Amino acid sequence: MAFDASTPNSLGFAKPPSETRVVVAMSGGVDSSVVAAQLAEEGYDVVGVTLQLYDHGAALAKKGACCAGIDIHDARRVAEEMGFPHYVLDYENIFRDAVIDEFAESYLGGATPVPCIRCNERVKFKDLLATARDLDADCMATGHYIQRKMGAAGPELHSAANANRDQSYFLFSTTPEQLDYLRFPLGHLPSKDATRALAAKYGLTVADKPDSQDICFVPDGNYAAVIEKLRPGAAEPGEIVHADGRVLGSHKGVIHYTIGQRRGLGIGGLDEPLYVVRLDVDAKRVIVGPKSLLATRTIPVREINWLGDAAFESRAEWHVSVKVRSTRPPREAVIRPLSATEAEVELLSPEEGVSPGQACVFYETGGSRILGGGWIWRGH
C-alpha cells in the first residue's frame, strides 16, 4: 500500500516510516525496549543508543539500577532480536561533571537533590539529543511516561494517561526546542501491564525485568555512603538541636538527615514527635521541631523553565497547580514572576516538608498540561 504523504506517520512526519530515522534512548529496561521494538515493527529506521553513565562493582551486577553493565547487555540483545543497530556511548565523565558532582555539593549543602532531573536535562536531552541529530535522526524517542501533544502554539508537554506512572515531575526542564524533537510513545498507555504485554507480544527477553528503583549511582539507596565516598570527611559529627534552642543529642553527620525525617533521629523518650525542620550545614547542626514547623506556604524558585504559550513575565501572577515532590499530587498555587527565571510561589494551602534542592513543577489546574517548573532554594 502506497504511503499517503498528506497524512503524517505515527511520529508526525509526512513521509513513510522507512524514510524516518529515529534514535531510541535505550536504558535496557522494558519501557525503552518496547519503544524501540514497536517503532522497528512499524518500519521506522531505528537506531538504539545506550549511555554508560556509571559503572562500579555494585551497579554492574544489580538489576535495580539503570545504565549499568547488565542493562547495556539487555539493550544490545533487544536490538539484535529486533534487527536494528545499537551503540553504547561512554558518558561517564560527562555524567560525573554534570550530575554527580552537583548532587554531592547539593547534599553537603543540606539540600535534597533530584539527580534524575539533572540527568535528563544535562545529559539525555542535551548531549544524547545532539548525538541523535549528528546521526541525522528526524527525532529521538524515549520510554518516559509523559505525553507530547500538539497545541495552537506548537508541541505541549502533558502528564501521562496513567497518573501512577507519570514522570512529568522529572521532565519539567525539557525546553520547547527539545520538545519539538522528542517523542514519548508510551505516554498514552493505561498501565505498566500494557507495556509488559507489548514486550511479550514482541518476544522481548526483558518483558518481565523489574523496574529500576534506585538512583543509578546509589544502587543500595544509601546516599550518605556515596557522599562520603565522593567527599571524604563529609560526615562530621555535630549537635541535634530543638528549634527552641535546646541541645537534645548528637549526630554523626548532617548528610544522614533530610527535611521532614522523623525516624532514626536517636533522640527518643520525648513527649512530642519531632521532625527534622532545618539543616544548618555550617554549624553542623540538625534542627528538629514539631510537625507544625514543617508547613510552608511561600517557596522561592529559580532556574525556571517556562513552557506556557505567553511569556512568563507577561503576567504579574499565574494561577496554577504545583508539585513540590514527585510522590505528591499537585496543589493550587499562585506564581509571581521576579524575572524570566525566578519566582515566588505561594501555596493556597500549606505543604509540609518542602526542601531546597527539590523541584517545584507547574501544572495547568484541572488539566494535564505541564507549564514548566524550577528549583526550590532557600531564598536570599
State yes or no: is 216 an active-site residue. yes
- Residue 32 assigned ligand-binding role: yes
143 is in an annotated binding site: yes
- 373 marked as binding residue: no
What are the grid coordinates assigned to 308, written together?
Answer: 506556557
Check: CB of residue 242 under 8 Å from CB of residue 257: no
Q: Is 357 labelled as part of a ligand binding site?
A: no
Annotated active-site residue 119? The verdict is yes
Q: Is position 244 annotated in a ligand binding site?
A: no
Please give the angle made by the CA atoms of 132, 133 and 135, to the nearest 5 degrees. 65
Q: Which of 66, 119, 139, 360 is catalytic?
A: 119
268 assigned ligand-binding residue: no
Q: Is 241 annotated as a binding residue?
A: no
Rounded to 10°, the helix 69-82/30-41 angle is 20
Residue 318, amino acid:
W
**Residues contacting 301, CB < 8 A, separation 6+:** 335, 342, 343, 344, 345, 360, 373, 374, 375, 376, 377
Rounded to an integer, what distance in angstroms lies between the CA atom of residue 301 and that of residue 343?
5
250 is in an annotated binding site: no
Alpha carbon distance 31, 71 (integer Å): 12
Coil, strand, or helix at residue 176?
A: helix
CA distance linking residue 172 with residue 103, whole number of Å:
18
Choice among 66, 67, 216, 360 that is catalytic:
216
Q: Tell me whether residue 31 is annotated as binding.
A: yes
Rounded to whole angstroms, how far apart are CA atoms 273 and 267? 10
Judge whether 193 is annotated as a binding position.
no
- Annotated binding-site ranges: 25-32, 51, 143
Known binding residues for ATP are 25-32, 51, 143
Active site residues: 119, 216
